[in-house]
Structure 1
Amino acid sequence: MMNSGLRSVVSLLALSCSVLSPFSWASPLKTINNDRAASWPFGPLVTSGRDIKNAQGGTVVYAGTNWPGHGEVMIPDGLHYQSIESVITKIKSTGMNAIRLTYAIQMIDDIYSKNGQDTTVRQSFINALGQTNGAKVYSQFLAKNPSFNDSTTRLQVFDAVAAECAKQQVFVHLDNHMSKAAWCCSSNDGNTWFGDTYYNVDNWTRGLSYMANHGKSWTALTSMSLRNELRKPESNPTLSSQSYNWRDWYTNIKKGTSAINSANPDLLIFLSGLDYDTYMTPVVQGTAFTPGSAKYSAADFPNYANKLVLEIHNYQNSASNCNSLKSSLYNSGFQALHAEDSGAKNVFPVLLTEFGFDMSGNAWQGTYATCIASYLAEQKAGWFIWVVSGSYYIRSGTQDFEETWGLLKHDWSGWRSSAYIEGGLKPLAKATAQG
C-alpha cells in the first residue's frame, strides 16, 4: 500500500509536464532519444578526442553565457524585469548558442524534506527577500511571465527556461554552483569542498541524480557539471589538511559522474579542478592524484568515458601580456586539446566556463578580454562568459544587486555595453559557436 509521502512524490512527477519518473519504462525514453538524434540538438552528444560530436557526426562548440539560478530565491535571476522568452532571445541574437544555468543543491534537499513537494515561487521570493519585498518582486515576476501563477514551483521555472531554449535552439548546460543557496564563492562559505559545513556528499550526489533525471525531457539539456569552483575550506582546518587534495577529488568525482550517468546516460559531464577550478593539470598530464598513487583512467568511468569534458575558469583580469595569458590557459588545462602532440597523456574537450570583466567601461578592449577572445577563437574552444545578469534578486545580503559585469543593464532591458556586444562578443560567437 502506498504511503502518503510516496503518494506526494508520485503526484508531483505525474503532474509536471516536464518530468520523467525514474521508474518510467524504456519506450518513452527511447522515443525521446530517437527524436533528439533526428532533430536539434542531434543528441546524445559524445566526445571524440578533443571535440564534442553530435549524433550526426557534427562538431558542437558551446558559445554562451552564465545565467545564475543558485541564489537564495533559487530560480534564474532577472525574471521580475524581463520574460524568459525575452532573455533567451537577447542571448540568441548575439550568435551565442548556449547557457550555463546554475542551481543549488538546497532546492533538491527542500523537495526531499517535503516528501517530493517543491516550494512555490511565491513562497521562495518571500523566504529570500522578506514578506514585503518578496511579495512585491513576485508580483513583478508574474507581470513579466503571465503564464505562471501562485502554484508555480521553482523547478517549473527551470522547466520553462529549458523549454524556451529548446524553442530557440540554445543548449542548456546545468551547473551545480552551490549546496546552500547563496552568492558564490569564498573559502569560508561552507560550500567549498566535499564534507564542508553545507557540502554533504550524499546530498550532493542525490541532487545531481535528481536534476539529471528531471532534465530527461528537456530537449535542450545536453550536459551537466559536477560542482562549481572547488576550493580550499579555510574555515575547516581539519578538512583542509586531511582531504583537500587530488586523491579525494578523484574519489568524489567518480561518485558524482556515476550519479549523473546512472540517472541520464545521454548527458555530457563536466569535470572541474581545484583552486576555484583554475587548473586540471593532473588529469591532462596523467600524473598521480596526490597524496595517492592513482591516475586518471577511462576504465574508472565504465561505458561513459566518452561523456567527460574538462572545464576551467580564468579571471586574470590584470594580465598585461597576451602570450603569458595564453601559456597559462594552455598549462591549466587546454593542453588536453593537443595532448596527442604535446606529450600529455589524456585528450579531452576543454571549455572556459567562466571568464569575464566589468562591462561599464572599456575593459573589453584591454589585454585580458581581447587575448581570451583570440585564444578561444584560435582553439575553436567552448566558453561561457560571466555573466548575463544585469542584477540579482539578492547577492550577499543586498537586494536588487547591481552587476556591472553583466552583459545586460540593471533591468535586463538591453545591453550594458553595445560596443562590446558588436565589437567583441558577436565576433567571438561567430568564430567559435557550432551545432
Structure 2
Amino acid sequence: MYKWEIKPAQIEDLETAAISSLSERALNTPFVATKQWIQDSTGKNFTYVGVNWPGAADVMIPEGLQYASIASIVSKVKSLKMNVVRLTFAIEMIDNIKDNGGDVTIQNAFNKALGTTNGPKTYQQVIKNNPQFNEKTTRLQVFDAVAAELDKQGIYIHLDNHMSKGAWCCGSGDGNTWFGDTYFNANNWKRGLQYMVDHGKSWPNLVSIGLRNEFRSGAKNGLPYNWATWYDQVISAMDLVYKANSNLLIFLSGLDYDTKLEPIATGADLGSGKKFLLSNFKYANKLVLELHNYQNDATDCGSMESGLWNNGFRATGTKAANMMPVVLTEFGFSQAGNDYTKTYATCIKKLMPQWKTGWTVWVLSGSYYIRSGTQDYEETWGLLNHDWSAWRNTAAISALQGMIDASLKG
C-alpha cells in the first residue's frame, strides 16, 4: 500500500499557510470608544460598515435559512467588504430558556409560527440547506452557528435587542414600545441582555450590543414616557451588561423610534435634575450612541444633515458635552426601483463617510419566514432577492459599494 509521506519542508509550508489564514481573519477585540472614535485592540480607528440580519421575528432565528446556507449568506456580506452584522434577537427567546425549562427547538419554533402544514415544510428546507441542524437544534444554537460562520469569515457581530415578544417591529400598538408595555417587562429585558452578553463570551467576534432597538410611545400601561425614565432604566441595564461582559461596547438608542438623542449629546437636564454625563461612568470608554433615520421623502440634503446633527450626531463634534461615537444602525429604502438615486439615499451616502461614522443598512433579508401574519413575506427593501440567491438590484448594490469603500477609506 502506498504510504503518503509529508516532508519537513511541506510541514513548514502548511504551518505557514495555516498561520496566514488565521491572521487574515484575526479579529482585533475588544473595542473601545475614544472621543468620537471606535478603536480596536490595536488602537486603530474602526468604522462599522455593515448590514442588519433580522432574527427577532416570530420564529426567532436569523432569517433566510430556508433558502440558503449560513455560509453562503455570510459570503455575500463578505463580498461587499462589510465588516459587521447587526444581528437582532427577541427577549422572548431568553424568557423561554429561563422560565420554561429551556430553549425551543427550531422544529417547534417553525410549527408554532407557521402552523403544522407550512412549519414542517420550512423546517425541512432549512435543514436541507444547513445539514448541521436537526430536530434537536435550538434557536440559540442557530445564533451560535451564525456567529461561528461570521467569525470564520472575519466579520464582527453587533447584537441588537430588537423586541421583547418575537414579532415584526415596530409600531406604537405592538406591546413592545416602552417599559411596562404589554410585552415589555423591564426586569425580563435586563435579564435577557445579561444572558445574551454572557452567552456571547463564546463568540470571539462579538464586539457590541444595542440595549434596545426603538423606544417609542404607545404603552397601554407602564412608566412615564420621558427622558428621566429612560435614564433610570437604561443606566441600570448598562451596569448589568457591563458587569456580565465588560469587553463589549454598549449602544444607547434614543426616543421616538431612536431618531432623537439630543439631550444625551448635550448633557442637558433630563428631568428631575438628572443628566447623562460620561464622567459619571467608570466604563465611559464602552459607550456608543446609535440613531435611526428613514427620511425617504427628503428633498433637501441640507435639512437632513442639520436634523441628523442636532438629533444626535452632534456628539461626534469637538464641542459636545458628551463626546462619543455615533453609529447609524438603521437606514434604508426600497431596492426594487431607483430609490438609490434619490435625495435620501445619496445624502446618507455622502454624510456617513464625511462624518467618518459607522452604519448598518436595513436590511439583508430578501424575505421573511413570516411578517405581520404573511408567510414567506417579500421584502423589497432587502439587499438580497426573495430566495436569497443574488442581489435584488445590482445598480443599487453598486451605489452601496461606493459608500462602503468611502466609509472604509475614511
TM-score by length of 1: 0.87
Task: For residues 9-62 of structure 1, give each alpha carbon's deviation from its aligned partner in whole angstroms, at most 9, with x where no partner exists.
Answer: xxxxxxxxxxxxxxxxxxxxxxxxxxx999832111101100011111111111
- The number of residue pairs the alignment matches comes to 389
The residue that corresponds to 1:308 in the other structure is: 287
Partner Cα distance (2:275, 2:395) in 1: 46
Query: 1:131-151 deviations in whole A, cap 9, x for unaligned?
Result: 110000000000110111111
User: Aligned-pair distance for 1:403?
Assistant: 0.3
Q: How does 1:246-395 map to 2 (within 5 A)?
A: 246-290=227-271, 292-301=272-281, 303-338=282-317, 340-341=318-319, 344-395=320-371
Letter in 2 for 1:93: S
Matched, 1:62 2:62: no
Partner of 2:156: 171
Amino acid corresponding to residue 194 of structure 1 in structure 2: F
Superposition deviation, residue 434 in structure 1 = 7.3
1:103 alignment partner AA? F
Please, which runs of 5 or more residues in structure 1 have no aligned partner?
Answer: 1-35
How many angstroms does 1:259 deviate by?
1.8
Which whole-Å CA distance do the structure 2 matches of 1:98 and 1:43 have between them? 13
Alpha-carbon distance between aligned partners in 1 of 2:356 and 2:372, rounded to the nearest angstrom? 36
Q: Residue 284 of structure 1 aligns to which amino acid in structure 2? A: A
Indicate how the Cα distance of structure 1 residues 332 and 308 shifts in structure 2: closer, same or farther if over 3 A, else same: same
User: For the residues of structure 2 that align with 1:39 and 1:79, how far apart are their CA atoms?
Assistant: 24
- The answer (yes or no) to whether the contact 2:278–2:322 under 8 Å persists in 1 is no
Please name the residue that 2:191 is paired with.
Answer: 206
Q: Which of 156, 161, 165 matches 1:180?
A: 165
Q: Does 1:91 align with 2:77?
A: yes
Deviations 1:243-294 (A, max 9, x none): 100000000011111121111100000000000000110000110012x211
Partner of 2:133: 148
1:162-218 C-alpha deviation (Å, 9 max, x unpaired): 001111111100000000000000011110001111100110000000000000010
Q: Which residue does 1:396 correspond to in 2?
A: 372
Say whether the 8 Å CA contact 2:25–2:154 is kept in structure 1: no
Q: CA contact under 8 A between 1:279 and 1:332: conserved in structure 2?
A: yes
More off after superposition, 170-179 vs 39-48 = 39-48
Q: Which runs of 4+ in 1 moved over 4 A?
A: 36-39
Secondary structure of the 1:82 match is coil
Q: Quote the residue 1:81 is aligned against.
A: 67
- The 2-side partners of 1:140 and 1:328 are apart by 45
User: What secondary structure sits across from 2:209 in the alignment?
Assistant: strand
TM-score, normalised to structure 2, is: 0.92
Q: CA deviation at 1:299?
A: 4.5
The percentage of aligned residue pairs carrying the same residue is 53
Do the aligned partners of residues 88 and 37 (structure 1) sit closer, same or farther apart at CA in structure 2, a change above 3 Å counting?
closer
* 1:192 counterpart SS class: coil
Taking only aligned residues, the RMSD between alpha carbons, in angstroms, comes to: 1.6
Other-structure match for 1:226: 211
